[in-house]
């Protein structure tokens, strides 16, 4: 049953891992209702339940299961589209939708670094949304960053605002779900860790600078900091852990760092957006925390957890960050982007 009080939305790449997470998270959304599903030519024309290899914990919602899948082409009965497409195909498809007048909320990397495309984490850089004013197509494209970048920038933003950041070193321990489905071979990852994720370190190092940068006119001046990332895949299902060390631009006490995190709030919380975590950051005094199995679902998977703040003998301070990679770092982050866009008046019926 279509609810005429909700905004109709489509999902392209609907059969993949990110597309499935979009479906799961949007099922009971107070603003949005799924009215279209797009996938590859081999899935088009089939009922979703026959096209998708569903592997979420909850069963496929009945209404979604019986929807017919369309091709990923303009003509879907909506004006706002969430893209869970693989980067190998996302670029031209998302551009075609934008040219046809759709608002595209993308999880893919293809358009993230374009000057007029927001690389958006609403808790961190909500003002960057206005970059879309410089897009010339009938529609718009908004992107969210790589899943490992998201947790990092939420943790860094309060420190940047309060003290300035000079250098960052981050070592990630990233969950298997970040590799999509079927993901990493069991023979590779059981009793093992893999110290390489293709392109991940480069994405963290450049995306962070754009997100933490200052919007000047119709582009972003990248943040003036140096970041080094080392990325590893570990045998955890969900939840990216990061060991972070920072050198700040001013000398501060540990209590000041803690206060910056604990007091932090931003535009999504002020606007009371449905997917905005309250609070956006949890800090744990217990040195054993945060842990993926215990804390990844805080704030319905949208909060970022931090713990183990301590002195660093190389830089100033070091700490541990945890975020839910498929919720906060992918589909949930994109939904929060869409909420901010709607609230700021960029969506019209």
Indicate whether 348 pLDDT > 90.
Answer: no
Pick left, alpha or beta for residue 9 (phi over 0 → left; psi -120 to 50 → alpha; otherwise beta): beta
- The arithmetic mean of pLDDT across residues 284-289, rounded, is 98
Pick left, alpha or beta for residue 53 (phi over 0 → left; psi -120 to 50 → alpha; otherwise beta): beta
pLDDT band at 175 (very low <50, low <70, confident <90, very high): very high
**Which of 72, 111, 128, 147 is flagged as catalytic?**
147
Domains of the chain, by residue range, sit at: 7-146+331-343, 147-324
For residue 281, give the nearest of 299, 305, 246, 298 by alpha carbon.
305
Residue 20: per-residue pLDDT: 98
Residue 147 annotated as catalytic: yes
Residue 12: per-residue pLDDT: 98
Rounded to two decimals, the pTM is: 0.97
Pick left, alpha or beta for residue 91 (phi over 0 → left; psi -120 to 50 → alpha; otherwise beta): alpha
Residue 2: per-residue pLDDT: 77
pLDDT in tens, 110-154: 999 999 999 999 999 999 999 999 999 999 999 999 999 999 999
The H or E element containing residue 36 is: strand 32-39
pLDDT in tens, 193-240: 999 999 999 999 999 999 999 999 999 999 999 999 999 999 999 999
Which residue shows structure tokens 């990852």?
Answer: 189
Percent above pLDDT 70 for the chain = 100
pLDDT band at 3 (very low <50, low <70, confident <90, very high): confident
pLDDT in tens, 71-105: 999 999 999 999 999 999 999 999 999 999 999 99
**Which of 72, 128, 231, 240 is flagged as catalytic?**
240
Residue 312 annotated as catalytic: no
Contact of 206 with 227, CB cutoff 8 Å = no
- The arithmetic mean of pLDDT across residues 32-37, rounded, is 98
pLDDT band at 259 (very low <50, low <70, confident <90, very high): very high
pLDDT in tens, 57-73: 899 999 999 999 999 99
The fold for domain 147-324 equals Dihydrodipicolinate Reductase; domain 2 (3.30.360)
- The arithmetic mean of pLDDT across residues 33-48, rounded, is 97
DSSP string covering 281-323: EEEE-STT---HHHHTTGGGGT-EEEEEEEE-SSSSEEEEEEE
What's the CATH class of domain 7-146+331-343? alpha beta
For residue 120, give the nearest of 91, 140, 93 by alpha carbon.
140
CA distances from residue 345 to 4, 129, 132, 167, 340 in whole angstroms, order as listed: 19, 11, 12, 37, 9
The overall average pLDDT reported for the chain is 97
- Listed in order, strand segments (DSSP E) in 234-294 are 240-248, 281-284
Residue 312: per-residue pLDDT: 98
- The arithmetic mean of pLDDT across residues 51-59, rounded, is 94
Residue 349: per-residue pLDDT: 78
The H or E element containing residue 227 is: strand 226-233
d(CA 67, CA 45): 10
The residues with which 17 forms a beta bridge, in sequence order, are none
Indicate whether 321 pLDDT > 80.
Answer: yes
């Amino acid at each position: 049953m279509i609810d005429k009080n909700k905004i109709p939305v489509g999902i392209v790449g609907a059969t993949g891992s990110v597309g499935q997470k979009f479906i799961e998270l949007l099922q009971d959304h107070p603003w949005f209702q799924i009215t279209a599903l797009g996938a590859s030519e081999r899935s088009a024309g089939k009922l979703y339940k026959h096209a998708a290899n569903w592997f979420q914990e909850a069963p496929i919602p009945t209404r979604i299961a019986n929807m017919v899948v369309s091709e990923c082409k303009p003509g879907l009965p909506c004006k706002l589209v969430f893209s869970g497409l693989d980067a190998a195909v996302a670029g031209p498809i998302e551009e075609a939708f934008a040219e046809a007048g759709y608002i595209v909320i993308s999880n893919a990397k293809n358009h993230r670094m374009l000057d007029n495309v927001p690389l958006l984490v609403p808790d961190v850089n909500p003002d960057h949304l206005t970059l879309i004013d410089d897009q010339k197509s009938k529609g718009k494209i908004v992107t969210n960053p790589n899943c490992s970048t998201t947790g990092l920038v939420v943790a860094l933003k309060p420190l940047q605002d309060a003290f300035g950041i000079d250098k960052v070193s981050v070592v990630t321990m990233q969950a298997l779900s970040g590799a999509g489905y079927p993901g990493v071979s069991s023979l590779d990852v059981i009793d093992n860790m893999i110290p390489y994720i293709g392109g991940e370190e480069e994405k963290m190092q450049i995306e962070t600078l754009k997100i933490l940068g200052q919007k000047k006119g119709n582009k972003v001046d990248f943040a003036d900091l140096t970041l080094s990332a080392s990325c590893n895949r570990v045998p955890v299902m969900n939840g990216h852990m990061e060991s972070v060390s920072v050198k700040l631009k001013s000398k501060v006490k540990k209590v000041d760092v803690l206060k910056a995190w604990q007091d932090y709030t931003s535009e999504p919380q002020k606007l009371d957006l449905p997917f905005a975590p309250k609070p956006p950051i949890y800090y744990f005094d217990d040195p054993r925390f945060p842990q993926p199995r215990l804390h990844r679902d805080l704030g319905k998977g949208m909060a970022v957890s931090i713990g183990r703040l301590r002195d660093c003998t190389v830089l100033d301070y070091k700490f541990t960050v945890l975020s839910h990679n498929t919720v906060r770092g992918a589909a949930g982050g994109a939904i929060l982007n869409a909420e901010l866009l709607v609230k700021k008046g960029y969506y019209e019926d």
